[in-house]
Amino acid sequence: MERIVILRHYLEARRRFTGWSDRCALERWQENRVRRHLRRIAGGSPYFARRVRDFGVAAWRDWPVTHKAEMMAHFDDWNTAGIQLQEAFAFAERAERSRDFSGTFRGLTVGLSSGTSGSRGLFLASASERRRWAGVLLARVLRGTLWSHRHRVALFLRADSPLYHTIGSRRLRFAFFDLLMPLEEHWPRLRTFSPTVLAGPPSVLTELAASGRVLDLLRPPAILLGVADVLDPVDGERIRSGFGVDPGQIYQATEGFLAATCPQGRFHWNEDVIVVQKEWVDAGRTRYVPVLTDFRRSVQPIVRYRLDDVIVRGDPSPCPCGSRFEAFEGIEGRCDDLLRIPGTDGRGEVTIYPDFVRRAFLLSVPLGTDFAVTQISAEEWEISVRPAVDLDGVRQQIGELCRLQGARSPKLTEVPWEPPPLHAKRRRIRRRIAP
Ligand SMILES: [Zn+2]
């Protein structure tokens, strides 16, 4: 029964990816779905009942924006299953400590978000939401090869989840590889499992690619997927050369499965599940912070919910892959990681995007050099590289970049390289001072 339901979601998700004559038809359909969804969740969530009463369903696009902190502050009122924050937290922490993630709490999966921003989040999903998630994920990742091939999916993750075991069958097997264990210890099992799909944080795929042991595998995986973290172009290139396969990407957060790259390499929002509104971060409208409304998720509604990421706008022309789902170019990183430095001529602060800094490095260090940049004060950045190389070129590029942006050049201090732990989120460029 469970597999049949997932299969139905899979087929539906495949059909919806390309099945629209134009954007208008898709947007009309979304609007109906959202309104119906909001009326339904208002029946179980006091928080959203108040929203409906105060603002009306038709005006949902203008409802006040929410975010993780707001959701956590109103957790008990917010979810439609009558779950209390304290009990759910205690359950999630027990699972985390024992590394046994197979249990459910009153039929719900409970997930803890890693909390790089310092605020931990707690996420709930029901069995039927898990099945839909699985169906949509398979449709976007396997792209219609569920029947023609047998798949063995190796998942390198920080924590296992019953989500992944929702799906297993003879055609499709999953194996979980715990990121808290050293990668070296995973090779024998990986070799025996011989995955056709290999999914993990880009930093892990990069390490695997660089280890020179890819040839140990009977055959390289046909599909490589970067998940849980932004795939830096630097890593993309290393993974490609190590495995001989172009890595795809999944944009999946605890808030849900949000987007994936298509065969053309463009990200498409999963607009059969979510509506994405944009808060532009620059006057030129090249980047935005997404505000999500998920019209499938009922247990813990995600409505007018601002993510903490900055998205680089995509090419507006229809994608050759045939999907009408809106495309974007990439995930720039977290809002907190935009570097801000004082402008010249007293112009206030100027934002320097991580992408620009990355380019400064790519233009001036040898291929294969890894790097990290941390802004530690308004006018000072720490930089480190591995292996050690001359940084004059980098200094010059960053100076030039700041001049072009109308910003004062920061003081660049070289610090020793520290290998980032595999299970933590990889952030090459970040800001470590209060906003
Ligand atoms: Zn496409």
Within 8 A by CB and 6+ apart from 201, the residues are 156, 179, 226, 227, 228, 229, 422, 425, 426
Distance from Cα 326 to the centre of ligand 1, integer Å:
9
Q: Which of 33, 37, 40, 41 is nearest to 78 (CA)?
A: 41
Determine what percent of the chain is predicted with pLDDT higher than 70.
94
CA of 268 to the centre of ligand 1 (A): 6
Using CA atoms, how far apart are residues 37 and 405, in angstroms rounded to an integer? 44
Q: Answer whether residue 179 shows pLDDT above 90.
A: no
107 lies in the same domain as 204? yes
CATH of the domain at 346: 3.30.300
- For residue range 226-265, what is the model confidence (pLDDT) as tens digits? 987 778 877 888 899 999 999 999 998 878 899 999 999 9
Higher-confidence position of 35 and 353: 35
Q: What is the CA radius of gyration of the chain?
A: 22
Of 310, 332, 354, the domain-final residue: 332
**Shared-domain flag, residues 289 and 350:** no
Q: Residue range 349-375: average pLDDT?
A: 85
**DSSP state for residue 318 in the 8-state scheme:** P
- Structural domain range at position 375: 338-431
Q: Residue 115 — very low, low, confident or very high, per pLDDT cuts 50/70/90?
A: low
* Residue 67, CA distances (Å) to 73, 81, 295, 319 in order: 10, 20, 17, 31
Angle at 77 between CA 73 and CA 78, to 5 degrees: 80
Residue after which a domain boundary falls, among 303, 332, 361:
332
Same domain assignment for residues 350 and 300: no
Q: At what angle do helices 23-42 and 46-55 cross, to 10 degrees?
A: 120
Instruction: List the structure tokens of 127.
Output: 């069995």
Q: Quote the CA–CA distance of 147 and 335 in Å, as a whole number.
A: 41
Regarding whether 208 and 184 lie in a shared domain, the answer is yes
Residue 168 reports pLDDT greater than 70:
no
Coil, strand or helix: which one is 65? coil
Q: Pick the more confident residue, 299 or 387.
A: 299
Q: What is the pLDDT of residue 359?
A: 83
- Structure confidence by residue, pLDDT tens digits, 25-52: 999 999 999 999 999 999 999 999 999 9
- pLDDT-based confidence at residue 183 (cuts at 50, 70, 90): confident
CA of 320 to the centre of ligand 1 (A): 6
Exposure letters 101-113 (e unless 16+ CB within 10 A, then b): beebbeebbbbbb
Residues 12 and 137 in one domain: yes
- Cα of 389 vs centre of ligand 1, distance in Å, is 39
Question: What pLDDT sits at residue 14?
Answer: 93
- Calculate how far, in angstroms, residue 270's C-alpha sits from the geometric centre of ligand 1: 12
Which whole-number Å values give the CA distances from 113 to 68, 82, 110, 247, 289, in the listed order?
10, 21, 10, 24, 19
Distance 122 CA to ligand 1 centre (A): 32
What proportion of the chain, given as a percentage, has pLDDT over 90?
Answer: 48
* Res. 351 pLDDT band, cuts 50 70 90: confident
Report pLDDT for 163: 61
Report the pLDDT value the prediction gives residue 164, as an integer from 0 to 100.
64
Hey, is 186 helix, strand or coil?
helix
Mean local confidence (pLDDT), 281-288: 91
Displacement of CA 253 from its chain's centroid (Å) = 5
Beta-carbon neighbours within 5 Å of ion ligand 1: 262, 264, 266, 319, 321, 323
How far is ligand 1, taken at its centre, from the CA of residue 246, in Å?
15
Average pLDDT, the chain: 88
The string of pLDDT tens digits covering residues 70-88 is: 999 999 999 999 999 999 9
Residue 324 CA, ligand 1 centroid: distance in Å: 8
In the reported structure, the alpha carbon of residue 140 is separated from the centroid of ligand 1 by a whole-number distance in angstroms of 11
Of residues 179 and 89, more confidently modeled: 89
Q: How many angstroms separate the alpha carbon of residue 139 from the centre of ligand 1?
A: 14
Q: What is the mean pLDDT of residues 41-68?
A: 97
Q: Which of 154, 163, 177 is nearest to 101 (CA)?
A: 163
CB 241 within 8 A of CB 253: no
pLDDT at res. 34: 98
Alpha-carbon span 189 to 54, nearest angstrom: 56
Distance 272 CA to ligand 1 centre (A): 15
Residue 278 shares a structural domain with residue 354: no
Q: Is residue 202 pLDDT above 80, yes or no? A: yes
Span from the CA of 71 to the centroid of ligand 1 (angstroms): 32
Residues 208 and 71 in one domain: yes
366 and 234 inside one domain = no
Give, as one character, the DSSP assignment of residue 66: B
Q: Residue 423's pLDDT is what?
A: 63
282 and 352 share one domain: no
Check if the beta carbon of residue 374 is closer than 8 Å to that of residue 414.
no
Q: Is the pLDDT of residue 353 over 80?
A: yes
Last residue of a domain, which of 278, 312, 332?
A: 332
What confidence category does residue 2 fall into, taking pLDDT thresholds of 50, 70 and 90? confident
Mean pLDDT for the stretch of residues 348-377: 85
Q: How far is the CA of 52 from the centre of ligand 1 (A)?
A: 35
Q: 242 alpha carbon to ligand 1 midpoint, in Å?
A: 25
Is residue 323's pLDDT more than 70? yes
| 397: pLDDT strictly greater than 60 | yes
pTM recorded for the entire structure? 0.85
- Interacting residues of 183 by C-beta distance below 8 A, sequence separation 6+: 204, 207, 208, 211, 422
Task: Give dist(CA 416, CA 300) in Å, integer.
Answer: 43
pLDDT of the residue at 144: 67
User: What length is written for the chain?
Assistant: 435
Does one domain contain both 371 and 264? no
pLDDT, position 425: 66
Distance from the alpha carbon of residue 294 to the mean position of ligand 1, in angstroms: 21
Tokens 């072009």 — which residue? 404
Write the CATH number for 31: 3.40.50.12780
Distance CA 128, CA 403 (A): 53
Q: How many angstroms separate the alpha carbon of residue 138 from the centre of ligand 1?
A: 16
Burial class (CB in 10 A: 0-12, 13-18, 19+), 65: middle
319 Cα: distance to centroid of ligand 1 (angstroms): 5
Q: Residues 276, 350: one domain?
A: no
59 and 76 co-located in one domain: yes
The count of structural domains within the chain is: 2
Give the distance (Å) from ligand 1 centre to CA of residue 271: 13
d(CA 13, ligand 1 centre) in Å: 15
Strand residue runs (E) in 317-425: 327-334, 339-342, 349-352, 370-377, 380-386, 411-414
Q: Ligand 1: distance of its center to the CA of 369 in Å?
A: 31
How many whole angstroms from 133 Cα to the centroid of ligand 1? 20
Q: How far is the CA of 282 from the centre of ligand 1 (A)?
A: 25
Question: Alpha carbon 379 to chain centroid distance?
Answer: 30
Q: What is the mean pLDDT of residues 384-396?
A: 90
What is the whole-number distance in angstroms between the Cα of residue 26 and the centre of ligand 1?
16
Distance 293 CA to ligand 1 centre (A): 22
C-alpha 346, offset from chain centre: 37
State in Å: Cα 227 to ligand 1 middle: 18
